[in-house]
Amino acid sequence: MGFNGEIAMKRMTLPIAVLALCLGSGWALARQDQGGTAAADRQFMMHAAQGGMAEVRLGQLASDHATADPVKQFGQRMVQDHSKANDELTQLAQRKGVDLPRELDAEHQATMDRLSKLSGSEFDRAYMSDMVRDHVEDVREFQRESRGAQDADLKAWVTKTLPTLQEHLRMARTIARQQGAGTVERSDGAGTGEGKK
């Protein structure tokens, strides 16, 4: 290739390199919302907010409907711990420009409606069964986010909150067992086999 050929090649290479750089930047921006938070992190925050709000409302319901003291106490603990975590998440979301939901979604509202029709030991068993299932999912999601979060502040909050959720799961399993509650611990329908309906 002659001198002129090399110059022509360099002229073609530069625009291609610039185009590749722009496309790469565009892809990175597409993965972030306007506040600069990665889309996956934003989605996690929305889901965590829904779950946390549901835990508080269900905990309040347990305080009113439960018969067994351990179930009532667990409900009160849910209100206390999840209210604190929800407040922290709300403050974090505001700093990141993420608008969190303020009302329960259809799935969580359906759980509220179903449990609010129960009372006594029937409520105790159903509530604790739900709490085991919910916290298995919560722990799994928080563990995944603690490894994959792109936002450092979110990662720190997730890492700080995870041990509390793990403690909730241990408590829920113990109380569910005491109440004779059937539990399905995984969303794919597989569980421990213990106390399964």
Euclidean distance between CA atoms 82 and 61, whole angstroms = 14
Q: In the chain, where do the E strands start and end? A: none
pLDDT in tens, 90-133: 999 999 999 999 999 999 999 999 999 999 999 999 999 999 99
Contacts of 90 (CB under 8 A, 6+ apart): 49, 100
Q: Would you say 28 and 39 are in contact if contact means Cβ atoms under 8 Å apart?
A: no
Q: Which residue has the tokens 């347990």?
A: 62
pLDDT in tens, 120-173: 999 999 999 999 999 999 999 999 999 999 999 999 999 999 999 999 999 999
Q: Given a cut of 70, is residue 182 above it in pLDDT?
A: no
Average pLDDT over residues 66-79: 97
- Residue of 82, 191, 75, 97 lying closest to 153 (CA atoms): 97
- What is the share, in percent, of the chain residues with pLDDT greater than 90? 72
Q: Would you say 137 and 47 are in contact if contact means Cβ atoms under 8 Å apart?
A: no
Residue scoring higher pLDDT (65 or 34)? 65
Q: Would you say 128 and 74 are in contact if contact means Cβ atoms under 8 Å apart?
A: yes
Question: What mean pLDDT is reported for the chain?
Answer: 82
